[in-house]
Structure 1
Amino acid sequence: MQAGENIRHFRSTRKLTVRKLAEAAGTSPSLVSQLENGKSGASVATLIRIAKALGVTLGDLVGDSQTPASNSRIVRKADRPSIDWGTASSKHLITPRPFQHIEAYELILVPGDQLAELTYGDTFVLVVAVSGKAILRVSGVEDVLNEGDSASFWTSEPHSLVNHGDDNFRAIFSLSPPVVEP
């Protein structure tokens, strides 16, 4: 993941100090510094708050900021920006940048791993379970997502996802409009 490099790049181009960015993102200056130096990871919720404070998308934050966005409609699997979760779970950006009307990710959640409860923005989410099984909790209501199932909710609703199964849970998450904050 190159989020640390991108945080520094976006912060510097906006002439923000570490302290000002941390204040705007509701986190500590030491965490921002550790992220920029690759000494620490951050939760998705923290990365979203940092992206919002920088005026970029989560995809921009975890993508290759040195490579200008192209007009290509193809995102090669090997070129997907990713966010590492837990010990082995990951989330990969699958829509080309710049985002237009939709932002999509492939999520691979290993057995025993979870996406802790999140609430942010007001974007519509569509989840399609590609393989495996997981428990989706939205606004206190739990449902099992099996292969082929889909679910939808707003990011403003508290939501979490847990893989209690024996196999990886793989899903496609589509967000519309993209999680872009001014």
Structure 2
Amino acid sequence: MDGSTTTLSLAIGARVKQERQSRGWTLDQLAEAAGVSRRMIINVEQGAANPSIGTLLRISDALGVGLPALVEAPRPKPVKITRSGEGAALWTSRQGGLGILVAGTESPDVVELWDWTLGPGDRHGSEAHAPGTKELLQVQSGTVTVDAGDQLVTLEVGDALTFPGDVAHSYANLGTAAARFILAVFEPGVGSGHRQDSTRGQSS
């Protein structure tokens, strides 16, 4: 992990540990609630792991705080500003792909705003999120192919798409140039317990 990734991992680890301890949970209790191994929780809390977005979602859902709360320091002010370059890079690829969480709201109804870049040939797959999750995206450059449920849609610059995030889905760049899109994710009722019935995988 490079310096910025290490710093982010340590910050996420500290926040996970803080949230877990504030609930009086053991490592085993969080691991069971999140559906991940005890070793993964330990590695995340120590900043020794570079977990997938899917794993972070499982942990944040189990804690009932939402993903944005894990990657940014608590701020008392109602207006939150994320300057250019300050977003949390939670996914990278060898082709130059980058998934940056640039803003988000607190639970229970969490909205995440992402800035995604897919290098040529990149594909990011995501398991089905919690029931009721919605995703909206707009292509800023290049071409993006979205596979959601049983629909495969190719989007050009300026095209937008809304689809349910509670089905398995993926974003791919089948072109020869980099593609970029803005993604908003709405997750209702984080921490309400409805996620116990969802079946999320750990890959992302």
Task: Give the TM-score of the pair, scaled to structure 1.
Answer: 0.85
Task: Provide the secondary structure at the position in 2 that maps to 1:79.
Answer: coil
| Equivalent residues of 1:8, 1:36 under 8 A apart | yes
Q: Does 1:82 align with 2:92?
A: no
The 5-angstrom pairing of residues 29-178 of structure 1 reads 29-64=38-73, 67-72=74-79, 74-87=81-94, 88-95=96-103, 97-98=105-106, 102-121=111-130, 122-177=132-187
| Equivalent residues of 2:104, 2:111 under 8 A apart | no
Once the 2 structures are TM-superposed, how far is the Cα of residue 5 of structure 1 from its aligned partner?
2.6
Query: Tell me, which stretches of 5 or more residues in structure 1 are unaligned?
Result: none
Task: Provide the secondary structure at the position in 2 that maps to 1:49.
Answer: helix
| Equivalent residues of 1:63, 1:82 under 8 A apart | no
Task: Give the TM-score of the pair, scaled to structure 2.
Answer: 0.77
Please give the root-mean-square deviation of Cα atoms over the aligned residues, in Å.
2.3
| Equivalent residues of 2:52, 2:90 under 8 A apart | no
Task: Provide the secondary structure at the position in 2 that maps to 1:38.
Answer: coil
Query: Tell me, which stretches of 5 or more residues in structure 2 are unaligned?
Result: 1-7, 193-204
Percent identity of equivalent pairs: 27
| Equivalent residues of 2:137, 2:160 under 8 A apart | yes
| Equivalent residues of 1:59, 1:81 under 8 A apart | no
